[in-house]
Amino acid sequence: MKHQDLTSKMTLEEKAAILSGKTVWQTMEIPRLQIPAIFCSDGPHGLRRQAGEGDHLGLNASLPATCFPTAATIANSWNTELGEKLGSALGEEAAAQKVDVLLGPGLNIKRSPLCGRNFEYFSEDPYLAGKMAASYVRGIQSQGVYACPKHFAVNSQELRRMAMDSVLDERTLREIYLTGFEIAIKEGKAKAIMSSYNEVNGTYANENPHLLLDILRKEWGFEGIVVTDWGASNDHAKGVACRSNLEMPAPGLDSARELLEAVESKKLSMDELDQCVDDLLEAILELSVQKRGAEFDQKKHHEIAREAAEESIVLLKNEKQVLPLKAGTKVALIGDFAFEPRYQGAGSSMVNPTRLETMENEIMHYDLQLAGKCRGYRRTGENDTALEQEALHVASQSDVILYCFGLDELSESEGLDRAHMKIPQNQIDLLEKLFQCGKPVIGILSAGSATEMTWEKNLTAIVHGYLGGQASASAMLNVLTGRVNPSGHLNETYPLDYEDTPAYHYFPSEERTAQYREGIYVGYRYYDTAKKPVRYPFGYGLSYTTFAFSDLKEEENGISVKVTNTGDTDGAAVVQMYVSLPKARVFRPEKELKGFTKVFLKVGESRTVSIAFDDKTFRYWNNKTGGWEIEEGEYLVAVGENCEAIHETMTVHRAGSTVEIPDVYQKEMLPSYYNADIQNVTDSEFAKLLGHEIPSGKWSGSLNKNDAICQLYYAKSPIARLIYRILTSMKNKSEAKGKPDLNILFIYNMPFRGIAKMTAGAVSRDMVDGMVTAVNGHFFRGLGQIIKGYFVNAKANKAYEKKLEQTGAEK
């Protein structure tokens, strides 16, 4: 241990107390030993440091900060240098606002397009996600601030996220859901990581020894701190035993007493407690000597936000080269998003921007004639004939129609998964009427994740800005007018229909269990292998110029390829390297992304770029031997502009390390996985893949502390069912307004145990037990437990506080 001299001076009560937060955002300080508190803040794409009393979901205002594009947007840049630059700006703002740990970036895999938080995650591909996350981490930590990648791990849905078990096989866990985190830890050197709400194969992530000890600490060599997601602690003692160092937000001293009881009963050893305290002290002492409070350059950071948005915009369609717009083009600006932009998602990541651009205002600074501007539709989805007629009139006065549309706030939010992949129908109805005007319609799309695009035939061009942050309007206009040549490429696949997605039958979950039956076939890995047509493939993106690839060669430890700008505009190419093993014995996807680089080329310029092989290029996880291995064979290395547009291929031989193929990995035993026919995997086949029986996720007849409050609808207590109806009504009313009440959603999906972890010590574990007793039909007995628990908890809290004060006075 690094700080044994300090831990030896701490009392047992101080050790137990310091491992939980004091407030929503601050850790506990120990004044007598001059151990200060450190401050955490949300910040995947911009800082959300609240000025007054903190709350997890952002009801109280936060200090102004630069709202950069979301992770899903920046991943479209395929530029790790840009990620590092953005991360450095985030770290600089964190330091300026006296924040020590920035809670981000978000690193979960986009298993399904319907996850409500996909806007906060990089990609469906773990390699791209990991490389981009590592770049953010390097940038943030260059400013003396800890980055905290989240949510570790297999956190792919918002529905009942605190009361849900992710069930998957070890190979899928390793190859898909952990690889991004591995890259962020090993290459980014992240000094903190956030554990997720859910269970992973029956054990909560924050107390999962396989995740936190076997993999994170031992295999990856992580020496930083593990921070729980806010309210994610289930059994605090088990978490500490797994070196989870900081339980947040502010569970109160009942959590500290839980550790004291665990030490006394030998459930938790003193060595385990001391190790956890030592890890946290290392972070506190390192962070407390960093300079904090300096001003940051708001103008410069706004320009970085614009640069990031520009490089991440994806040109999906450009018929007749309608773009870029010629100087003096007479345009109609139509769409509610032109006036009130969708530039970030909703939830704990919501930023109070230092400045916010709109298309309505920014278009005045460009050499375009504005025929008119109007909202055209209601973003909340209601039909409005008057707005439609105004839009059609404005369109009739123009030569080109700029139509700003996309997903509204209700579609993409923490705490709420999407119900479908569609754009609100009233926006599409207006689009179809604009198309009938017979003029080019340029669709300017705003959304944080994939949508169905049956309407694309009504658009001459489609420019996808994702959620581009506070400078997204000028970034978009720079692309539309040709000041910037678009170079973004999709970080995810756009399927033809939601029914085509690999997890269609398995997402989000059946009662408490989310079964990852699709296995390793996530995103393009499925579409490619199953030969399923898509709207836009993974890695897709157009440019105002063209590129040629040639002279693919194998180097000592990688490949090189010549890229030439063959068009008439300077621009940047994204070179993507995919690897496959055509005659593999172990089933695997058709191809997998294993390297990429972005190169800017002037007209006619050629450049030879190199992409290195690394430890992830040829590996697969062998469930039988419990390790990473290479299967011997002739690997196909393919280079292109997206996973379907492959321009150059070559084969490279690799000697194998595999001696034992897993017994179950035979075509006759796992036909669905060898054929990538994984939308209807049977129970018996999934059980074979898991290597054990499928755990039941059925809710029992009685609720327990780990069941979610939304399950009160079948509680035995009529009062509990009434509470459920009231809460559901409040939830539905907030959603009907178009902007969900995030605190209601949080409560709706929270398990009973979370009440004890999210109320700053006002509610104890014993009181939660009383609540569970009450909702299970024993109302008065439960009420008695709650009342008794209240007084016992209050008395115990005072006694603990007094002991801490006396210790301080004595020393």
DSSP state letters, 24-64? SSBBPPBGGGTB---BEEE-SSS-B-BSSS--TT--S-B--
The helix (H) or strand (E) run that includes residue 11 is none
Is pLDDT at 780 greater than 70 in this prediction?
Answer: yes
- Kindly report, as residue ranges, where domains of CATH 3.40.50.1700 are found in the chain: 306-488
Query: Average pLDDT in the 373-392 region?
Result: 95
pTM: 0.95
pLDDT at residue 386, as a whole number = 96
Round to whole Å and give the CA distance between 771 and 756. Answer: 11
Round to whole Å and give the CA distance between 495 and 789. Answer: 53
Can you give the three-state secondary structure of 546-562, one letter per residue? CEEEEEEEEECCEEEEE
Q: What is the pLDDT of residues 551-598, one digit of tens each?
A: 999 999 999 999 999 999 999 999 999 999 999 999 999 999 999 999
pLDDT at residue 414, as a whole number = 83
Mean pLDDT of the chain: 94
The helix (H) or strand (E) run that includes residue 246 is none
pLDDT at residue 52, as a whole number = 61
pLDDT at residue 739, as a whole number = 65
Q: Give the three-class secondary structure for 659.
A: coil
Cβ(155)–Cβ(196) below 8 Å:
yes
More confident residue, 407 or 810: 407
Is pLDDT at 740 greater than 70 in this prediction?
Answer: no
Identify the CATH assignment for 32-288 out of 3.40.50.300, 3.40.470.10, 3.20.20.300, 3.50.50.60.
3.20.20.300
**Ramachandran angles phi, psi of 653, nearest 5°:** -90, 140
Tokens 């690094």 belong to residue: 2
Round to whole Å and give the CA distance between 364 and 314. Answer: 23
Q: Give the residue from 132, 141, 160 showing the smallest Cα distance to 73.
A: 132
Q: What is the pLDDT of residues 418-457, one digit of tens each?
A: 989 999 999 999 999 999 999 999 999 999 999 999 999 9
229 is catalytic: yes
Is pLDDT at 272 greater than 90 in this prediction?
Answer: yes
Cβ(349)–Cβ(458) below 8 Å:
no
Is pLDDT at 54 greater than 60 in this prediction?
Answer: no
Q: Of 100, 165, 169, 229, which one is the catalytic site residue?
A: 229
Neighbours of 634 (CB within 10 A): 11
Round to whole Å and give the CA distance between 807 and 11. Answer: 8
**Ramachandran angles phi, psi of 769, nearest 5°:** -60, -40
Q: Does domain 306-488 have CATH number 3.40.50.1700?
A: yes
Per-residue confidence band for 512, with pLDDT thresholds at 50, 70 and 90: confident
Task: Give me 248's structure tokens.
Answer: 């947040």
More confident residue, 654 or 161: 654
Can you give the three-state secondary structure of 707-735, one letter per residue? CEHHHHHHCCCHHHHHHHHHHHHHHHHHH
Question: What is the C-alpha radius of gyration for the chain, rounded to an integer number of angstroms?
Answer: 27
- CA distance from start to end of the chain: 24
Share of the chain above pLDDT 70, in %: 98
Is pLDDT at 750 greater than 90 in this prediction?
Answer: no
Round to whole Å and give the CA distance between 448 and 120. Answer: 8
DSSP state letters, 261-295? HHHHTTSS-HHHHHHHHHHHHHHHHHHHTS-----
Round to whole Å and give the CA distance between 684 and 670. Answer: 10
Q: What is the pLDDT of residues 273-309, one digit of tens each?
A: 999 999 999 999 999 999 898 899 999 999 999 999 9
CATH code for the domain defined by 535-664: 2.60.40.10
What single letter denotes the amino acid at residue 554? Answer: E
Is pLDDT at 59 greater than 60 in this prediction?
Answer: no
Is pLDDT at 254 greater than 50 in this prediction?
Answer: yes
Round to whole Å and give the CA distance between 114 and 505. Answer: 12
Is pLDDT at 618 greater than 70 in this prediction?
Answer: yes
Q: What is the pLDDT of residues 321-347, one digit of tens each?
A: 999 999 999 999 999 999 999 999 877
- Kindly report, as residue ranges, where domains of CATH 3.20.20.300 are found in the chain: 32-288
pLDDT at residue 58, as a whole number = 46
Round to whole Å and give the CA distance between 559 and 639. Answer: 10
Alpha carbon distances (Å) from 596 to 450, 551, 561, 707, 793 = 22, 17, 12, 43, 56
pLDDT at residue 363, as a whole number = 97
pLDDT at residue 502, as a whole number = 97
pLDDT at residue 442, as a whole number = 98
Round to whole Å and give the CA distance between 802 and 218. Answer: 39
How deeply is 364 buried, as exposed, middle or buried, from its count of CB atoms within 10 A (0-12, 13-18, 19+)?
exposed
Tokens 């040639």 belong to residue: 550
What single letter denotes the amino acid at residue 317? Answer: K
| Strands annotated E in 132-196 | 146-147, 165-167, 192-195
Residues 6+ apart with CB under 8 A from 763: 755, 756, 793
pLDDT at residue 811, as a whole number = 57
DSSP state letters, 344-390? S-BSTT---BS----HHHHGGGSS-EEEEEE--S-TTS---HHHHHH
Cβ(571)–Cβ(672) below 8 Å:
no
